[in-house]
């Protein structure tokens, strides 16, 4: 599943795409009809190694076949920061009618229109959320994060077992290092999220939410801060792992895809990643890798699973057609929704749940967390207590700073400053 450039390059790329719609800096042609006379909507997406152009095209083609009076035009987000990409399109007047991964933009007033009740009724009540008392997004899927994938042959060679405690995990890392091998892989270049986000989700989110279950609310009302003993402890231990040489030396020069490829080639023994990696292994029928839940530092049994959301633009001139597209994907054609879910190891959010056959790695991934409590990633929590748009990107850059030796406490103090700045700017 899931699957993130300088601002100038970003703006230029936006202009190129926007100009293909209507001209950079002008309102995109999302009007009532296309050149063929059909009702037209634009669909903003991104692509990954798993969620490919074929997945989106099959979705669009199926809908257009069953709704020949509506034309759907795909708008592809490019660059490192998708939220920044959509914000730039928003400011240029070229914002798509339907946008996936809408949760971070939903905290901004007036971006998305209210979801009709008949569309809300398609989804599990627990996955719906409100902003200022209104439901303005729909939950497209649930996705579990993060676990540790490992090379079975390395574990067998060194007589290692899957660790179940933090101390055992550290012992596994040291044993691999002592054997002259690299314990862990991560990414960096072009995908800043791939440096520290996987580890933070596995250890930071779980540690904070185990101690402060209402951390998002506490952050927003000022009764807690990022800069606390738990955050400092998690990041200090991570930096200590880096300083001990547990991570591949050239990780920061690799994109996420390159890092994953190097891991599979045996450059490192382990890689912390999401359920989309399990889906990838199963799709390739690759039985050379196993997966275990990264033991939490405090021993708590928490696992992170995010819901991702789609929104319909308030400025969309064909809202009925846009919501018809959403109803089609999530209700009228289960095969379309199934392909979307299966491509990235995702799980259904609809009342009429859509399932699919799971391979060995995905089955093990889910089995690893069967006794865990599921929590939502702090910066991805939707609704009234959502982190302000831009916080994720800031933290991802900060993780890279810490990876490169920056002082942990100074970095985390910056998180609080930026959080408040972004909150005030909403």
**Pair (325, 233) in one structural domain:** no
Tell me, yes or no, whether 279 and 345 share the same domain.
no
Residues 35 and 120 in one domain: yes
Q: What pLDDT, on a 0 to 100 scale, did the predictor assign at position 104? A: 78
Task: Place 64 in a pLDDT band, splitting at 50, 70 and 90.
Answer: very high
**Weakest mean pLDDT among 19-33, 198-212, 258-272:** 19-33
- The CATH code of the domain that includes 418 is 3.40.190.10
Number of domains in the chain: 2
The answer on 299 and 232 residing in a single domain is yes
- The reply to whether 331 and 376 lie within a common domain is no
Do 417 and 405 sit in the same domain of this protein?
yes
- Indicate if the pLDDT at residue 86 is higher than 60: yes
Show which of 356, 381, 416 is a domain's final residue: 356
pLDDT of residue 52: 94
Q: Percentage of the chain surpassing pLDDT 70?
A: 92
Residue 213 confidence class, pLDDT cut points 50, 70, 90: very high
Q: Regarding predicted confidence, which is higher, 2 or 77?
A: 77
Same-domain pairing of 343 and 371: no
Helices (H), 333-407: 334-343, 360-368, 391-403
Identify the pLDDT of residue 1: 38
Q: Please tell me whether residues 396 and 282 are part of one structural domain.
A: yes
**Tokens linked to 362:** 């995905």
Residue 2 belongs to some domain of the structure: no
Do 28 and 63 meet the contact criterion of CB atoms below 8 Å apart?
Answer: no
Distance from the Cα of residue 332 to its chain's centroid: 26
Say how many CA atoms lie within 13 Å of 71 toward its Cβ: 13
In the prediction, which pLDDT does 32 show?
Answer: 56
Reported pTM: 0.76
Residue range 366-390, pLDDT digits in tens: 999 999 998 889 998 888 898 988 8
93-106: per-residue pLDDT in tens? Answer: 999 999 999 987 89
Q: Answer whether residue 388 is part of any domain.
A: yes
Residue 70, SS3 per DSSP: strand
Do residues 402 and 256 share a domain?
A: yes
| Residues 352 and 389 occupy one common structural domain | no
Are 188 and 254 within 8 A, CB to CB?
A: yes
Whether 209 and 286 map to the same domain: the answer is: yes
pLDDT tens-place string over residues 151-170: 999 999 999 999 999 999 99
Q: What is the pLDDT of residues 165-192, one digit of tens each?
A: 999 999 999 999 999 999 999 999 889 9
Q: Are residues 328 and 242 in the same domain?
A: no
Note down the domain range covering 250.
Answer: 145-305+365-425
C-alpha pair distances (Å), 39 with each of 15, 61, 75, 140, 223:
24, 15, 17, 24, 49
pLDDT at 34: 63
């Amino acid at each position: 599943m899931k699957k993130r450039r300088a601002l100038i390059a970003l703006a230029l790329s936006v202009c190129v795409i926007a100009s293909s719609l209507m001209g950079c800096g002008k309102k995109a042609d999302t009007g009532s009809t296309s050149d063929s006379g059909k009702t037209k909507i634009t669909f903003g997406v991104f692509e990954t190694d798993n969620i490919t152009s074929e997945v989106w095209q099959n979705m669009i083609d199926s809908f257009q076949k069953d709704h020949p009076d509506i034309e759907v035009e795909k708008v592809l987000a490019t660059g490192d920061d998708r939220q920044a990409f959509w914000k730039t399109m928003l400011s240029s007047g070229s914002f798509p009618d339907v946008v996936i991964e809408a949760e971070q933009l939903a905290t901004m007033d007036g971006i998305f229109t209210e979801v009709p009740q008949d569309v809300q009724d398609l989804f599990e009540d627990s996955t719906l959320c409100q902003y200022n008392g209104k439901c303005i997004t729909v939950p497209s899927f649930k996705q579990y994060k993060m676990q540790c994938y490992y090379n079975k042959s390395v574990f067998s060679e060194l007589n290692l077992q899957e660790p179940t405690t933090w101390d055992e995990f550290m012992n596994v890392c040291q044993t691999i290092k002592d054997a002259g091998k690299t314990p862990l892989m991560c990414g960096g270049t072009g995908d800043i999220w791939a440096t520290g986000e996987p580890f933070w989700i596995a250890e930071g989110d779980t540690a904070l939410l185990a101690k402060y279950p209402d951390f998002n609310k506490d952050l927003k009302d000022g009764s807690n801060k990022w800069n606390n003993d738990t955050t400092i402890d998690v990041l200090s231990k991570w930096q200590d792992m880096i300083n001990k040489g547990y991570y591949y030396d050239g990780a920061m020069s690799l994109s996420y895809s390159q890092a994953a490829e190097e891991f599979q080639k045996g450059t490192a023994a382990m890689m912390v990643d999401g359920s989309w990696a399990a889906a990838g292994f199963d799709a390739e029928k690759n039985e050379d890798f196993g997966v275990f839940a990264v033991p939490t530092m405090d021993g708590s049994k928490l696992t992170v699973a995010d819901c991702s959301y789609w929104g319909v633009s308030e400025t969309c001139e064909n809202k009925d057609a846009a919501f018809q597209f959403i109803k089609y994907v999530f209700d009228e054609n289960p095969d379309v929704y199934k392909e979307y879910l299966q491509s990235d190891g995702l799980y259904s959010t609809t009342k009429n749940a859509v399932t699919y056959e799971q391979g060995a790695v995905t089955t093990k991934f889910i089995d690893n967390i069967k006794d865990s409590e599921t929590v939502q990633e702090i910066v991805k929590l939707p609704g009234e207590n959502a982190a302000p748009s831009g916080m994720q990107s800031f933290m991802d850059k900060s993780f890279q700073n810490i990876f490169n030796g920056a002082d942990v406490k100074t970095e985390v103090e910056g998180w609080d400053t930026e959080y408040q700045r972004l909150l005030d700017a909403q």
